[in-house]
């Protein structure tokens, strides 16, 4: 037997890329690769990339630049680019950075074994197809080894919403759902391997239609699986929150009280220009309905400031919406024009102005996040413990609300669920005592 080759994967972007990186590593496992956590001794380096904002894409080229010494030290090293930059830029990547051997898009990485053979043969390999066949059916079976207590599971890919700023419909293609039986099979397999919490993933996960009753139908079936204790899903679009999915937040115990529901802006004029197809008012009403069935829901959101045409009054409407809704978690970004999207053709807001708005919005969101975390002090939560903490005897896990919680206790280990009383809110986590 030959010595195993070493694979270093670096993942950027969203959770879907985290899931894809796992599947790519498994796929190359069949070609004799084992994962390594440093590029120093790797035989193959794969960057699984994100194209969502300009900075994200540019980061890849600087990262590739930093790979040069590794290639010089080891001429047999193969360098690959996967993910959304691969899809968006294709052969352009090899033109700009000739030491790249392999470019593979998010919908064609099940073909990695053949592509790897090609690069081992000294050729360049490029595959950015949106193939007819189902990628998931062609991926190697997932290994049976034990794994940690939480896992991502991609159930839906692509997006048909075409928000005017967004590259995802172009890099990930049209909306496709995996059949519920296949998702259930993968979930059962994960549970057998020690997983107790599954986060269902999709660019637009609540548009899932692989189950006759949509995403809530899938969640309700998953809730019947013994050993699976927690279910989450991300990312959702407000227009796809149907009645039963809202109801599930009230009556499905295993569905966690945390919802990421991006709104992007609080101004109807901007929402229209973004092609979001909802208003600020309809979003606020929707949140009220969900909180009606689950009052303790922790809400998370995404915001874009400085979208073309955004005035100070439009921005103020975003601040007003944030004040009205109250977020426990949030991600906010300065608008970044993406080639090929409709908004990229429009006149931009002054960059200094946009920076200043971003700071004001982030100050407000940070205040809300801190308040939501501080409010937990004195409360009892359930924590799924994932790993040892930084200090001796410490264990760290997540509450229902996705807050990081640490305890010092020898009563809990990895994969345990325990009731914990929160005693202190520190910078990025909560300190608790096992009850
Ligand atoms: N499918 C998800 C996530 C899309 S990308 C959704 O619809 O919510 C994650 C976030 O990145 C978006 O919600 C948006 O806030 C931000 N984003 C996307 N394109 C962007 C752009 N061109 N400039 C700045 N932020 C952007
Ligand atoms: Fe992008 Fe909009 Fe689709 Fe989300 S819903 S992935 S922001 S186009
Ligand atoms: Fe980025 Fe692609 Fe995800 S652009 S956010 S990695 S879908």
Regarding the beta carbon of 108 and ligand 2, being less than 6 Å apart is answered no
Residue 252 assigned to a binding site:
no
CA 334 to ligand 1: nearest atom: 24
Regarding the beta carbon of 51 and ligand 2, being less than 6 Å apart is answered no
pLDDT at 1 over 80: no
Regarding the beta carbon of 166 and ligand 2, being less than 6 Å apart is answered yes
Paired residues of 79 in beta bridges:
45
21-30, 141-150, 199-208, 377-386: range with lowest mean pLDDT: 141-150
What whole-number percentage of the chain has pLDDT above 70?
100
Mean pLDDT in the chain?
Answer: 95
Task: State the distance from the centre of ligand 2 to the C-alpha of 9, rounded, in angstroms.
Answer: 26
pLDDT computed for residue 142 by the predictor: 80
pLDDT tens digit string along 181-218? Answer: 999 999 999 999 999 999 999 999 999 999 999 999 99
Which-ligand-closest: CA of 203?
1
- Name the residue of 304, 346, 355, 358 whose CB sits within 8 Å of the most ligand 1 atoms, as the mutation to test its pocket: 304
Residue nearest to atom 3 of ligand 3 (CA): 14
- Name the residue of 47, 58, 161, 168 whose CB sits within 8 Å of the most ligand 3 atoms, as the mutation to test its pocket: 168
Question: What are 192's two structure tokens?
Answer: 């057998």
Which-ligand-closest: CA of 343?
1
pLDDT computed for residue 137 by the predictor: 85
For residue 286, the tally of other CB atoms under 10 A from its CB is 17
CA 51 to ligand 3: nearest atom: 4
pLDDT at 92 over 90: yes
Which-ligand-closest: CA of 264?
1
Q: Which residues line ligand 1 (CB under 6 A)?
A: 52-53, 159, 165-166, 168, 203-204, 235, 237, 262, 264, 302, 304, 333, 335-336, 338
Regarding the beta carbon of 163 and ligand 2, being less than 6 Å apart is answered yes
pTM score: 0.96
pLDDT at 106 over 70: yes
Structural domains in the chain plus CATH codes: 5-127 (3.40.50.12160), 144-256 (3.30.750.210), 284-375 (3.30.750.200), 380-434 (2.40.50)
Task: State the distance from the centre of ligand 1 to the C-alpha of 83, rounded, in angstroms.
Answer: 16
């Amino acid at each position: 037997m030959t010595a195993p080759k070493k694979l270093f994967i670096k993942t950027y972007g969203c959770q879907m890329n985290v899931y894809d990186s796992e599947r790519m590593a498994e796929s190359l496992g069949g070609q004799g690769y084992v994962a390594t956590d440093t590029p120093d001794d790797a035989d193959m380096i794969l960057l699984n990339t994100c194209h969502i904002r300009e900075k994200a894409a540019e980061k890849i080229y600087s990262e590739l630049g930093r790979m040069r010494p590794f290639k010089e030290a080891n001429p047999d090293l193969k360098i690959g680019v996967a993910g959304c930059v691969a899809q968006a830029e294709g052969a352009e990547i090899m033109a700009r950075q000739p030491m790249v051997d392999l470019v593979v898009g998010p919908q064609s990485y099940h073909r990695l074994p053949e592509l790897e053979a090609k690069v081992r043969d000294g050729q360049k390999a490029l595959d950015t197809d949106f193939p007819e066949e189902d990628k998931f059916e062609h991926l190697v079976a997932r290994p049976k080894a034990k794994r940690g207590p939480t896992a991502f599971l991609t159930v839906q890919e692509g997006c048909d919403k075409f928000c005017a700023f967004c590259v995802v419909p172009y890099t990930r293609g049209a909306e496709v759902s995996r059949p519920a039986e296949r998702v259930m099979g993968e979930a059962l397999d994960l549970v057998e391997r020690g997983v107790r919490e599954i986060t269902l993933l999709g660019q637009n996960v609540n548009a899932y239609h692989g189950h006759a009753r949509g995403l809530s139908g899938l969640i309700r079936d998953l809730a019947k699986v013994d050993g699976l204790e927690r279910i989450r899903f991300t990312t959702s679009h407000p227009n796809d929150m149907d009645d039963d999915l809202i109801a599930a937040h009230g009556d499905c115990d295993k569905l966690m009280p945390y919802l990421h529901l991006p709104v992007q802006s609080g101004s109807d004029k901007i929402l229209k220009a973004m092609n979001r197809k909802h208003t600020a008012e309809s979003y606020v009403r929707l949140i009220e309905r969900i909180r009606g069935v689950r009052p303790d829901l922790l809400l998370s959101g995404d915001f874009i400031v400085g979208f073309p045409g955004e005035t100070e009054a439009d921005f103020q409407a975003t601040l007003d919406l944030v004040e009205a809704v109250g977020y426990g978690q949030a991600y906010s970004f300065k608008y970044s024009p993406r080639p090929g999207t409709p908004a990229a053709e429009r006149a931009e807001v002054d960059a200094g102005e946009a920076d200043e708005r971003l700071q004001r919005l982030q100050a407000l969101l940070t205040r809300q996040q801190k308040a939501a975390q501080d409010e937990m002090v004195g409360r009892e939560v359930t924590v799924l413990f994932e790993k040892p903490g930084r200090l001796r005897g410490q264990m760290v896990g997540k509450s229902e609300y996705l807050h990081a919680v640490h305890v010092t206790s020898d009563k809990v280990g990895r994969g345990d669920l325990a009731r914990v009383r929160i005693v202190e809110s520190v910078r990025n986590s909560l300190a608790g005592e096992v009850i």
